Structures are given as C-alpha cells and as structure tokens.
C-alpha cells in the first residue's frame, strides 16, 4: 500500500507513494477537508484543477446527515459527491468528544447527544467501522478517544487504554472492498503513553498510522513534541498521518520530522474571514491598504484567482459580502497548500529539501489573528 521511495539525508522527510482503491497518492500530501461531503466553497472540478489527490470526509457528520440510508442508496460517498479519487474518512471519535452536547463513555463506545437535535446516539468501534464501510472510503480511521490537550494524567492514560482496546475491535470489523485502516496514536504530551499506544498499534499491523491529539488548542512547541514522541515508534514502511493541522510552515516542520499526510480546515476557514495565505505568510485582504492594489494575491501563483483577479477586486467582493470573494480565496489558499506539498516532493526527489524547508520557514510569518483563531477554534469543520 505505501512505498517509501526516498528519505532526505539532512532531515527525516520522506518521499513516498500510497496506493488506494481509487488511485495512487504521492506523499507528502495535503488532504482538503470535506467534512460534510463537500470541501467548503469548492467543487470537484476546482479540486481537480488545483491538484487535489485525496480528500477527507467525516463519519460523525455524515452519519447524522444525510445518514446511512441515503448514502447506501447513492452508492457510497464517492458517487454521492461525484469525487472519484481517494477519500479518507475520520472515525468520528474526535467529533464525539468535542461536539457532542452530553456523552457517556462505555466499554464499547460512547453514548452521546447529537449536536444537531439532541437525539441520543451511540458510536463505538463496530458502529464507526460500519459507517465507514457504507461510505466506501479508501482509508478508514479507527475509533479513538481524543481528550483535551490539558486533560489530567489519569484521563490521558484511560484514553490511551480505550484507544488501544477500540483499535483492536476496529481491526476485527469487516471492510469495504479495498478499504485500508489506519490506527491512531494518542497519549497527549506524555512520552511513555505515546510510546505505549504506538507500539500496541504497530503490533496490530494496521495499514498506516495517524498521530492524534495534536492541534487541539495546545501551544505549537507541545504539538511538535507530541509528533516527535510518536514518530520513532512507527514503522518506516507505513504511511504516517498527522491529524488536523496546520499552517503551511507547520506542515513542513512535520514533514522534516517524518510525517507524510496532513489535513486541515484552515485554507477554507480563514478564506471565509478574508485571509489569504502566501509564501511569506497570511494577509488580510479586507485591509484598507488593498483597496487599490491591482496585483494578484501572490505574484507567482498560477491559481485561477491569481490569474484573473486582483487584491482590490477580491477586497471589494469581500466587503460587499459577495460569495465569489470567499470562493476565490478558498481556491487560492487550497492551491497554495497543495503547491507547498508538490514543491516539497520535488525537492525531496532532487535532494534539496533541507534548503527549501529552511528558506520557507524563515520567510513565512503567520498572522497573530490566525494563531489566535486556531487556539480558540481547534474543532474541525
């Protein structure tokens, strides 16, 4: 399933290929987030045009709406949303523990109240894998427990124990044809728990491994530490996925630490607030300084927004609350994330990744507004 093609001589960065039932994915890779069977503001044609290889859908949300009956009738998630490249589905565990109004953890899952209408529901390993089987995703994630980053040590320990037990149950469930399953490493910022969880999952021989419990409101140094605690205990011949993060610079930091796959809502989320990413950092297009700025968002960008529209025009659209403005910023930001990944792969192939990585990190300045937004809103779309 995963072929490791090359490891950078100066960092831990890896060049690889991930083979799925719906195609081959070149890694490192960014996966646009399509939580509700749609990447916000973008259609499948645009996703293809900007170079999207794989997208992410979510078990919790799609089970609530439109529901499995509709999904079965549609022929699965690929047919339902007219996306015929690979799809990875999150298990729903993160959403159960972050969105559910009331929840009660039991031996085989979680009983909770829907955040939509308050109805009583239950999801555990068996239910999560059944939903993902019906969705027909190429990669399904195990059902895990993701406690807050500042949870007490006892709560983190119990969460790891449940995550391991639930992963074993997930491993035993039937799958859709060609569907792969990834385990999820939890453990907060406790190196012993991270090691315990990773080693237990590796013994189960999953198709790949994710690192969970990161980018959930903790400071960036703690996020990097959690990755560094987990990666050494994961096998080199399996894909590694850091869940739910981050800025382009953070992704490059994690690529340099041996991570292969990423998903993040930031490109479309901040676009809806009028923020655009460039290689020098984030800029607020609504600012008065762009009122008569007739340059593209980024001079050397070849996305549709930059080829055809100016900062001044996009600012006008945003100020007038025209939908085209946030759509074009979503196109640009998503394209920018994908281009950074493509550049990382090219530099890995050429043996120049370390220089590219250092230069990008030195030039990229994330805005304080976005950092504050991430801390306040760690939950996925």
Distance CA 207, CA 25 (A): 15
Distance CA 247, CA 253 (A): 10
**37 Rama class: left (phi>0) / alpha (psi -120 to 50) / beta:** left
Residue 33: name the closest of 65, 69, 62 by CA: 62
Distance CA 6, CA 24 (A): 17
Tokens of 154: 């006892």
378 close to 269: Cβ distance less than 8 angstroms: no
**CA 377 from chain center: how many Å?**
15
Q: Any residues with CB less than 8 A from the CB of 320 and at least 6 apart, and which? A: none
Distance CA 359, CA 353 (A): 10
Distance CA 148, CA 16 (A): 32
3-state SS assignment for residue 30: strand
Q: What's the angle, vertex CA 100, arms to CA 63 and CA 143, rounded to 5?
A: 60
What single string gives the DSSP state of each residue in 299-322?
Answer: TT--SHHHHH--HHHHHHHHHTT-
* Cβ neighbours of 365 (radius 10 Å): 12
3-state SS assignment for residue 234: coil
Residue 378: name the closest of 217, 263, 248, 150 by CA: 217
Which residue numbers are catalytic?
90, 263
């Amino acid at each position: 399933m995963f072929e490791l093609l090359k490891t950078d001589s100066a960092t831990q960065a890896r060049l690889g290929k991930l083979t799925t039932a719906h195609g081959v994915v070149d890694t490192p890779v960014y996966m646009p987030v399509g939580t509700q069977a749609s990447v916000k503001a973008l259609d499948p044609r645009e996703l293809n045009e900007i170079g999207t290889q794989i997208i992410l859908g979510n078990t919790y949300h799609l089970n609530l709406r439109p529901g499995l009956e509709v999904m079965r009738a549609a022929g699965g998630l690929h047919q339902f949303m007219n996306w015929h490249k690979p799809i990875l589905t999150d298990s729903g565990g993160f959403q159960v523990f972050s969105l559910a109004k009331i929840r009660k953890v039991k031996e085989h899952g979680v009983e909770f109240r829907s955040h939509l209408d308050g109805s009583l529901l239950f999801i555990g390993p068996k239910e999560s894998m059944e939903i993902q089987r019906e969705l027909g995703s190429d990669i399904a994630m195990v059902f895990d427990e993701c406690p807050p980053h500042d949870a007490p040590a006892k709560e983190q320990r119990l969460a790891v124990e449940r995550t391991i037990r639930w992963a074993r149950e997930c491993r035993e469930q039937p799958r859709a044809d060609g569907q792969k399953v990834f385990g999820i490493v939890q453990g907060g910022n406790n190196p012993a728990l991270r090691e315990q969880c990773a080693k237990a999952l590796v013994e189960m021989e999953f198709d790949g491994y994710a690192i969970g419990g990161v980018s959930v409101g903790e400071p960036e140094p703690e996020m990097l530490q959690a990755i560094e605690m987990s990666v050494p205990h994961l096998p080199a011949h399996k894909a590694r996925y850091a869940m739910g993060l981050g800025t382009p610079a953070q992704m490059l930091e994690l690529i340099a630490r041996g991570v292969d796959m990423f998903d993040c809502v930031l490109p479309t989320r901040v676009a809806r607030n009028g923020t655009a990413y460039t290689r020098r950092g984030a800029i607020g297009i609504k600012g008065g300084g762009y009122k008569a700025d007739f340059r593209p968002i980024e001079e050397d960008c070849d996305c549709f927004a930059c080829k055809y529209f100016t900062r001044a025009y996009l600012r006008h659209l945003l100020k007038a609350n025209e939908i085209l403005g946030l759509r074009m910023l979503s196109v640009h930001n998503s394209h920018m994330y994908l281009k950074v990944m493509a550049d990382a792969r090219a530099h890995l192939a050429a043996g120049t990744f370390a220089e590219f990585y250092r230069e990008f990190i030195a030039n990229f300045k994330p805005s304080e507004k976005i950092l504050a937004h991430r801390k306040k809103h760690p939950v996925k779309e």
